[in-house]
Amino acid sequence: MRKPGSRTRAALAVVAVGVLGVAGCDAGGGAGTPEGTKARGARPVPVWNRSPDSIAAVGDSITRGFDACMVLSDCPEVSWATGSDADVDSLAVRLLGAADAARRSWNYAVTGARMADLPGQMAQAAARGPQLVTVMAGANDACRTSASEMTPVADFRTDFEEALRTLHRTSPKTQVYVASVPNLKRLWSEGRTNPLGKEVWKLGICPSMLSGADDLTNVATRRRDQVQERVVAYNKVLKEVCAQDRLCRFDGGAVYDYEFGTDQLSRWDWFHPSKDGQARLAAIAYKTITAPDPAA
């Protein structure tokens, strides 16, 4: 004979098993959701467009092709991002073709710009509604009159975050490629072998790193190390902020890691990229943007 209340308890047990069977599998992070489906209310994950049909570039002197064609002058036609020079084979030419690159790519970078200038450049870029914006900025935040004048890391982060917000307020679907800040200490070690380059450095190119190029005292070495540490910190910010934006790809430190040799440096200042150096930057960007996996 069934005891009083046993039927009720049995029914409750069945209900409890059913509830746990539904809820328990998801408790560990969605293991109960069939692969390839989305939980209700989840934000859809955008598919990265590896073939954007319009490009805007923001940043500093590197993206303007500074000192790549003549001394102390911009040369945007050899820009890694939007240039038309066939020897460079810029990102825009690789993605759009030469004819379309001339019509559907725009360069808003400014020589001497720092990260604080990026929101303004992004506003200009956003007005075009490009499918992709390239970012290469941060070298001038480290290249100050002295190491003590470098942009604080917290300010660098704030300005970069504001730049991305500025872009997406006007152009919410635009993708962003972010290049790491180059290894400035390597550029110093390569360029200091050229007497002419060192004379040009005295005109005020990246004094925090390049002043007293042959000074190997402890004080000078520590100064250069401080600049290098700040560059590493800037790249950490770029990586972290970009990772929070579903439409952003960081180069994984590829530009920082690239071992620029004398062939890749300007023959006028031995610090900025030459045409060959610009071509290497274009290749790095193209590889990152067209990779199926952002970590590839």
The per-residue pLDDT for range 8-34, each reduced to its tens digit, is: 344 434 333 333 333 333 333 333 333
pLDDT of residue 207: 96
Which pTM value belongs to this model? 0.83
pLDDT of residue 45: 55
pLDDT of residue 193: 87
pLDDT digits (tens, 9 = 90+) for 123-181: 999 999 999 999 999 999 999 999 999 999 999 999 999 999 999 999 999 999 999 99
When mean pLDDT is compared across 14-23, 40-49, 197-206, 249-258, the lowest value belongs to 14-23
Q: Is 242 a residue whose pLDDT tops 80?
A: yes
Q: Is 221 a residue whose pLDDT tops 90?
A: yes
pLDDT of residue 2: 42
Angle between helix 218-243 and 184-191 (nearest 10): 140
pLDDT of residue 7: 42
CB 208 within 8 A of CB 150: yes
What structural domains does the chain harbor? 55-290 (3.40.50.1110)
Average per-residue pLDDT for the chain: 87
Phi, psi of 279 (to 5 degrees): -65, -40
CB 52 within 8 A of CB 45: no
pLDDT of residue 223: 97
CB 181 within 8 A of CB 256: yes
Using a 10 angstrom Cβ sphere, with 0-12 exposed, 13-18 middle and 19 or more buried, the burial of residue 37 is exposed
**Residues 196-200: what's their mean pLDDT?**
87
pLDDT of residue 295: 65
Q: Which of 62, 85, 46 is closest to 174 using CA atoms?
A: 46
The DSSP string of 57-109 is EEESTTTTTTTSSSTT---GGG-TTT---TTT--HHHHHH-HHHHHHHEEE--
Considering only residues 40 and 23, tell me which one the structure prediction assigns the higher pLDDT: 40
Q: Is 296 a residue whose pLDDT tops 60?
A: no
Chain-centroid distance of CA 252 in Å reads 8
Give the Cα separation of 116 and 245 in Å (integer).
Answer: 19
pLDDT of residue 229: 98
Residues whose CB is less than 8 angstroms from the CB of residue 213 and which lie 6 or more positions away in sequence, other chains included: 188, 191, 192, 198, 201
Residues whose CB is less than 8 angstroms from the CB of residue 80 and which lie 6 or more positions away in sequence, other chains included: 62, 63, 88, 90, 91, 273, 278, 279, 280, 281, 282, 285
pLDDT of residue 43: 57
When mean pLDDT is compared across 128-132, 169-173, 248-252, 267-271, the lowest value belongs to 267-271
pLDDT digits (tens, 9 = 90+) for 58-116: 999 999 999 999 988 999 999 999 999 999 999 999 999 999 999 999 999 999 999 99
Q: Is 206 a residue whose pLDDT tops 50?
A: yes
pLDDT band at 196 (very low <50, low <70, confident <90, very high): confident
pLDDT band at 214 (very low <50, low <70, confident <90, very high): very high
